[in-house]
Amino acid sequence: MTLPTHDEREHAKETLDYIRRTMESASSFTAVAGSGMVGVGLIGLVAAGVASRLGNPVDLRVWVPAAVVAMVLAGAANARKASRMGVPLWSGAFRKTVWVMAPVLVSGAILTFALGRQGADALIPGMWLALYGAGVTAGGTLSIRAVRAMGLALTVLGAVALLQPEWGAPLLAAGFGVMHIIFGLLLLTRHGG
Partner 1 sequence: MAGNIVVDELDRLIHERIRLGIVSALAANESLPFADLRDILGTTDGNLSVHARKLEDAGYVRVTKGFEDRKPRTEYSLTAKGRRAFEAYLGQMEQILSAAREALEKT
* Closer residue to partner 1, CB minimum distance, 78 or 143: 143
Query: Under the criterion CB under 8 A, does residue 42 sit at the interface with partner 1?
Result: no
In three-state secondary structure terms, 53 is helix
Buried b (16+ CB within 10 A) or exposed e, 77-91: bbebbbeeeebeeeb
Q: CA 14, CA 9: separation in Å to the nearest integer? A: 9
Q: How far is the CB of 29 from partner 1 (least distance, A)?
A: 6
Query: Under the criterion CB under 8 A, does residue 78 sit at the interface with partner 1?
Result: no
| 61-69 LR contacts (CB < 8 Å, sep 24+) | 69/43
CB 138 within 8 A of CB 93: no
Query: Under the criterion CB under 8 A, does residue 83 sit at the interface with partner 1?
Result: no
Query: Under the criterion CB under 8 A, does residue 27 sit at the interface with partner 1?
Result: yes
Kindly write out the interface string for residues 135-164 of this chain, putting x where it contacts partner 1 by CB under 8 A and - elsewhere. Answer: --------xxx-------------------
Q: How far is the CB of 7 from partner 1 (least distance, A)?
A: 7
Describe the chain by its helix, strand, coil percentages, rounded to 5: 85, 0, 15
Q: CA 42, CA 37: separation in Å to the nearest integer? A: 9
* Closer residue to partner 1, CB minimum distance, 81 or 180: 81
Q: How many residues bind partner 1 (CB under 8 A)?
A: 32
Query: Under the criterion CB under 8 A, does residue 118 sit at the interface with partner 1?
Result: no
Which residues lie near partner 1 (CB under 8 A)?
1-5, 7-9, 12-13, 15-16, 18-19, 22-27, 29-30, 85-87, 143-145, 189-192
